[in-house]
Amino acid sequence: MTPSTLDALIEALRCLPGVGPKSAQRMAYHMLQRDQRGAARLASALSKALEVLRHCARCNTFTEDDICQRCANPQRDPRLLCVVEMPSDLAMMEQTHAFKGMYYVLMGRMSPLDGIGPRELKLEKLVERATDGQVEEVILATNFTNEGEVTAHTVGELMRARGLKVSRIARGVPVGGELEHTDIGTIAQALIERRSV
């Protein structure tokens, strides 16, 4: 018989994505037996994060303040609003140093077959953000999966209906990429979406 506290810990660890009963058990034993200090650090970091972090009122990403530093930065261009799926996508966009506008993080993507739609994504919050009177162009930077594409379509329609300019990031052969080593789906789509020069 495992004591119930241990059971509760194992059960709690299963809330992590991709963690089944076996992995949860391994993690629990590891933390209790081999790394109690690490476990304590995890526990306090987790409860601090839950207590302090919230969604930025403007871009919806995680922040400790009402409005995150990026949204509060007067150097950024308030006329451009880039819509991404996840904070990790925002981080990638920032690494490009190619974008000086504002962001909106959806915290997910539409997945009609899983029942995730406009309501679950709280798109009304994005509509409110985009119609602040300053945003002129909405840049759709969701993923090039079917889910990302249907999200882009939905957001695009909502924005267009409100008189905003809507654009979609381009897709095609990667920078420095050679056709020979690019997957054929990408090349096919790059051909379909070719542009005149």
Partner 1 sequence: MGQKQRVDQQPGFVLHTHPYRETSLIVEVFSRDYGRMALVAKGARRPMSALRGVLMAYQPLLLDWSGGGEVKTLIRAEWLGGQPLLSGKELLCGYYLNELLVKLLPREDAHAELYAHYAALIQRLPGETRFEPVLRAFELTLLSELGYGVPLEHDAETESPIEADAHYGYIIDRGPVRDVSPEDGLPMVTGQTLLDMAAGRFDDPKTLVQSKALLRHLIQHHLGAQPLHSRRMFKELQAL
User: DSSP states of 91-123 as a string?
Assistant: HHHHHTT---EEEEE-SS--BGGGTB-TTTTTH
Residue 25 as a binder of partner 1 (CB under 8 A): the answer is no
Q: 119: which residues sit within 8 A by CB, 6+ positions away?
A: none
Residue 164 as a binder of partner 1 (CB under 8 A): the answer is no
Residue 167 as a binder of partner 1 (CB under 8 A): the answer is no
Residue 44 as a binder of partner 1 (CB under 8 A): the answer is no
Which of helix, strand or coil describes residue 137? strand
Cα–Cα dist 20/65, whole Å: 35
Residue 192 as a binder of partner 1 (CB under 8 A): the answer is yes
Residue 180 as a binder of partner 1 (CB under 8 A): the answer is no
Nearer to partner 1, 57 or 111 (CB): 111
Nearest Cα to Cα of residue 139 among 171, 104, 110: 104
Residue 17 CB, nearest approach to partner 1 (Å):
7
Nearer to partner 1, 68 or 129 (CB): 129
* Interface with partner 1 (CB under 8 A), residue from 1, 88, 97, 115: 115
